[in-house]
Amino acid sequence: MRDDSDESLMFRYRDGDVRAFELLVTRHRKAVYNFIVRFVRDAAQAEDVLQETFLRVIKSADAYEKQAKFTTWLYTIARNLCVDAARRGKHRRAASLDAPVNNDPEAPALIERIADAGAGVDRQAIGRQMALRMQEAIAQLPDEQREIFILREVNDLQFNEIADIVGCPENTVKSRMRYALEKLREALEEYRDLAQAAP
């Protein structure tokens, strides 16, 4: 069963196999959480939204049809709940630069992804500063650009899937991604020369 596709596991769960549901949760929990926490920018609220996402999957299991990829369906649910949470404005606050992105003890922090473990001390220090700046810059992106950047770069989804999830044309997704990248590039401009100059 471990090698089964998501869609196959969802059908097995629909037919009553709880173990299949657990496999789906295990497979996607971290990635969906990473998407949610970067959207809502609050670890406790992200846990609530993650729970509600999987509870909605359970509730909708009987109606599940293989019309779209399971991940597209899953992220659509998560994204809609994030939008609802943002509308309610509960726990809405600026992202802390000191706190880890998501307080997730398992997930590598963004800082660890960007800093090169094999690099020299100076380079590592620059990497850390740059990662923090990156984190701040992502948090400051407009919601519609941030969600697309996260779905593409963190969750590794295709543009056509992202278009289905956010409910807009693929070209709009691509242009929002382009704007997001431009803003991030501007935010990190000062580090380009430093990073190149460090040993």
Partner 1 sequence: MPELPEVESVARSLRPRLVGRRVVAIEVSGLSLRRPIERERLERALAGAKAEGVRRVGKYLLIDFSTGNVLLVHLGMSGRLLFARPGEARAPHTHAVFRLSGGLELRYVDPRRFGVLRAYSAGELERSPELSVLGIDPLAPDFSVAQLIAMLASARRDLKGFLLDQSRLAGLGNIYACEALFLAGLGPRRRTHRVGAAAAARLFGAIREVLEAGIRNRGTSFSDYVDAEGDQGSNQNTLAVYGREGEPCRVCGRKIRRVVQGARSTFYCPGCQK
Q: Which is nearer to partner 1, 23 or 162 (CB)?
A: 23
Q: Which is nearer to partner 1, 7 or 144 (CB)?
A: 7
- At 133 the three-state DSSP class reads helix
- Using the rule CB under 8 A, which residue among 10, 11, 12, 13 binds partner 1? 13
- Using the rule CB under 8 A, which residue among 105, 118, 169, 199 binds partner 1? 105
List binders of partner 1 among 52-91 (CB under 8 A): 54-55, 57-58
For the bound state, the minimum distance from the C-beta of residue 42 to partner 1, rounded and expressed in Å, comes to: 14
CB 169 within 8 A of CB 163: yes
The answer to whether residue 103 forms part of the interface with partner 1 (CB under 8 A) is: yes
CB 138 within 8 A of CB 146: yes
The answer to whether residue 18 forms part of the interface with partner 1 (CB under 8 A) is: yes
For the bound state, the minimum distance from the C-beta of residue 57 to partner 1, rounded and expressed in Å, comes to: 8
For the bound state, the minimum distance from the C-beta of residue 23 to partner 1, rounded and expressed in Å, comes to: 8
Q: Which is nearer to partner 1, 26 or 171 (CB)?
A: 26
Burial class for 191, CB neighbours closer than 10 Å (0-12, 13-18, 19+) = middle
Own/partner pairs, 90-93, CB within 8 angstroms, 24+ separation: 90/45, 91/40, 91/42, 91/44, 91/45, 92/41, 92/42, 93/41, 93/42
Q: CA 82 to CA 80: how far, in whole Å?
A: 5
Binding site for partner 1 (CB under 8 A): 13, 18-19, 21-22, 25-26, 29, 33, 47-48, 50-51, 54-55, 57-58, 103-105
